[in-house]
Amino acid sequence: MIFMLTAWYPYPKTKDVVKKTISTPQLPDYIKKWQIFGTADGNNGMKVYNLIMVEKDKADEALIFISKLQSEFTDIDGYVWKIEPCMGVQDALKVLEID
């Protein structure tokens, strides 16, 4: 299972976000990989993409963990986030019933 977490925050809050990021707890074993990519998003400030790979049978637990983690950032003024489930090509082909 793959989740894409997208977060936005004002440029002046970057140091606050970085400080909070480096103080987050260790990831549970069912989160296999967490990659972070950032970019400037014009008047919206910083935009950060997080690709989070999770064991398939642990998606619910991972979603709760990620949401709790993100709730810690919401005290930073202007910080907003959303999380979306994503499919890899193999799963998308199953949806389309293509072998």
Q: What DSSP letter does each residue of 32-86 carry, written as one string?
A: EEEEEEEEE-GGG-EEEEEEEEE-GGGHHHHHHHHHHHHHGGGGSTT-EEEEEEE
pLDDT in tens, 13-53: 999 999 999 998 999 999 999 999 999 999 999 999 999 99
pLDDT score at 74: 94
pTM above 0.95, yes or no: no
Judging by beta carbons within 10 Å of its beta carbon (0-12, 13-18, 19+), is residue 25 exposed, middle or buried? exposed
Q: What is the CATH number for 76?
A: 3.30.70
* pLDDT tens readout for residues 42-96: 999 999 999 999 998 999 999 999 999 999 999 999 999 999 999 888 888 888 8
Look at residue 89 in the predicted model and tell me its pLDDT: 86
Residue 39 has what pLDDT? 97
Residue 35 belongs to domain spanning: 2-95
DSSP one-letter code for 7: E
Tokens of 65: 């963990």
Domains held by the chain: number: 1
